[in-house]
Amino acid sequence: MTHLHTAPVSVPFALRGLAALCALALTTLAAQAQATWYLKENIEKDASWRNAGLWNSAPDGSGTSATAINSTDTYNTNGKYVRSNGVFPGGKLIQAGGRIDIKRASQTIAGDWEVTGDKATLHQGVRDGASYLFTVKGKLILTSPLRVLHTTDGMRGIDLTIGTLTGPADLIIGSGNAVRNTSVSLGVLKFENHTGKIRVELGSTLAFANDQTWTGPLEVSLGAHLNLNKAITVPAAILGGQPVSVGTHTAEQLKQAHGDIVVDGSTGTLTVAP
């Protein structure tokens, strides 16, 4: 019997090298897609959240520094002080407590923003008597409460626009200081199982940029203000400690029942629909 011997197939060295490079590239891309970066220190004056070198691969700052802000990556503020300026292009910003300071006329989070830490605040740090823009194109995920405020006497405004609001925690407007009116114009395109309250504290004001249907309740404290300029639907509402009955109420009807909580000139409606 004649035995046939098959010679082994030789893979050219160049092809083996190419295959190795492709595998390395895929591994690198996968790592990049899952990368999390941590703010290693408070952001100083003349820098901002867009400075890639401020973000590190390790929470204690002992890892490698980022070289770019990538739309596939997650950025954790690590409890540090954040100066916002312009567009933050990361895929997700996790605010693990601490303050995000508005420092320019307009700033935008291009991806999602999740609040997870203790005593997280969004602060209007520009000047009195003016409003500034803060936009979240993706989701604002309130895993922990977020307080929107300023810390000087007088009025400071924030036009807060959110793609989708979700999460179990509260969105709180103002510091509770009667002489510090944080005036927020809230625009939300979609509510997705947000079960926390939207609370307006003593001295501060909530207005609206669009008609909205909420999935969580509204609570306006005594001494706070509601500029009811749109059609707003909520599952429950408390104004000045008094619950609002089920049904649709005009701004004028609410003003008669709750007094100065409803701002003069309000022309919208509040519908309570559990």
Q: Residue 149 is which amino acid? A: L
Q: What is the mean pLDDT of the chain?
A: 91
Question: For residue 20, how far is the Cα from the chain centroid?
Answer: 41
pLDDT of residue 2: 46
Q: Mean per-residue pLDDT for 77-98? A: 97
Q: For residue 255, give the H/E element and its range.
A: helix 251-258
Domain boundaries, the chain: 36-216
pLDDT of residue 64: 97
Q: Mean per-residue pLDDT for 126-145? A: 96
Integer Cα distance of 243 and 180 in angstroms: 26
* For residue 156, pLDDT beyond 60: yes
- Percentage of the chain exceeding pLDDT 70: 88
pLDDT of residue 33: 53
pLDDT of residue 140: 98
* CA 113 vs CA 135, 138, 163, 185: distances in Å: 10, 7, 11, 19
Q: What is residue 7's DSSP assignment?
A: P
Q: Mean per-residue pLDDT for 41-56? A: 96
- Strand-pair partners of 83: 101
User: Of 24-28, 71-75, 230-234, which range is least confident?
Assistant: 24-28
Spatial contact of 132 and 158, defined as CB atoms under 8 Å apart: yes
Q: Mean per-residue pLDDT for 243-256? A: 98
Largest CA distance in the chain: 109
Spatial contact of 142 and 170, defined as CB atoms under 8 Å apart: yes
Tokens of 151: 């810390």
Integer Cα distance of 242 and 265 in angstroms: 22
